[in-house]
Amino acid sequence: MSAILECRDLTKSFGNKSALAGVNLTIERGQIVGLLGPNGSGKTTFIKLANDLLSPTKGEIRIDGKKPGIETKRIVSYLPEKTYLIEWMKVHQMITFFTDFYEDFKADKAHEMMARLGINPNDRLKTLSKGTREKVQLILVMSREADLYLLDEPIGGVDPAAREYILDTILHNYNENATIVISTHLIADIEKILDHVIFINAGQVVLSSPVETIRDEQGKSVDTLFREVFRC
């Protein structure tokens, strides 16, 4: 079985500004990966390329051995940093929408999680607060049984209490062959759930290493190492 995500010389430029410059990377199946880097380092560009929302300027990215397209969209569950929910719909209509388009979506699971967070399925999305919308979005994304989850800043906009619950949700809602990539700069909060970290800066991968190696060989936490690598 091929690696879940692979890129070779992956480059994306906007005009003459390069957002990713020749990234080579392999992400194996069955782990939780932290994609860590300061603002503007290329995290979102990388995730958008994996979702076929951008096309590479040079090089290639493959998911499950295939170029991003319909086939990969079926197995990738993506949480963008934006709230992309359709505002005029009610929460339960949004659940039906996901059921209609994704074969791997589990509506029961989504309803159950909504109930646990006290989100009323009959509420219109337009009337919900930004934080609640982000929770709805995360629940929808995690209610799929995908092979690869790409979560762009999943905990940025919610309060610390909900953050706990969300990380818990992430941890308990994927099977062991699935891979989760979490992009964030809030490292301390997610460090304990990560198996592998990728440091990215100015469009280049600075480090790709299992968390165990960092702890054992360097005797540091990921947070400490991050602060050292990205010292301003």
Partner 1 sequence: MLSKLLKYEMKATARIFLPLFAVVLLSATMNRLITIFAPKGWEVPAVISMVLYVTILVGMFVVTAVMMIQRFYKNLLSEEGYLMFTLPVKPWMHIISKLLLAMMWALVSIAVAIGSVVIIASAQIFKPEVVSQIGQVVSQIYAYEGAWLFTAEFVLLVLVGGIAKILMVYASIAVGHLVNNHKILASLGAYIGLSTISQILFTFMGLLPGMAGIKDRYTGGNLSNPMGTVRFSSADNLAAILPSVHGFLWYGVLFSALLTVGYFIITNMILGKKLNLE
Residues that bind partner 1 (CB under 8 A): 14-15, 48, 51-55, 70-71, 73-74, 76, 78, 80, 82-86, 88, 97, 100-102
The least distance separating partner 1 from the CB of residue 77, rounded to whole angstroms, comes to: 9
In whole angstroms, how close is the CB of 100 to partner 1 at the nearest point? 5
- Nearest CB to partner 1, comparing residues 92 and 209: 92
Amino acid at 111: H
C-beta of 45 vs 173, nearer to partner 1: 45
Up-side HSE of residue 30: CA atoms within 13 Å toward CB?
4
User: Which one, 72 or 197, has the nearer CB to partner 1?
Assistant: 72
What are residue 155's phi and psi, to 5 degrees? -115, 5
Whose Cβ is closer to partner 1: residue 30's or residue 69's? 69
Q: Is 150 helix (H, G, I), strand (E, B) or coil?
A: strand
Residue with tokens 């569950």, as numbered in its chain: 77
CB of 69 to partner 1, least distance (A): 8
Dist. CA 180–CA 218, nearest whole Å:
25
Angle between helix axes 107-116 and 91-101 (nearest 10 degrees) is 150
Q: Which is nearer to partner 1, 28 or 60 (CB)?
A: 60
Do 203 and 20 contact (CB within 8 A), yes or no?
A: yes
CA 170 to chain centre: 10
**176, two tokens:** 């062991």
Q: What does the longest C-alpha to C-alpha distance in the chain come to?
A: 52
| Smallest gap from residue 133 Cβ to partner 1 (A) | 11
DSSP string covering 4-15, please?
Answer: SEEEEEEEEEET
Write down the least CB distance from residue 140 to partner 1, Å: 10
C-beta closer to partner 1: residue 5 or 85: 85
* Nearest-approach distance from CB 38 to partner 1, in angstroms: 21
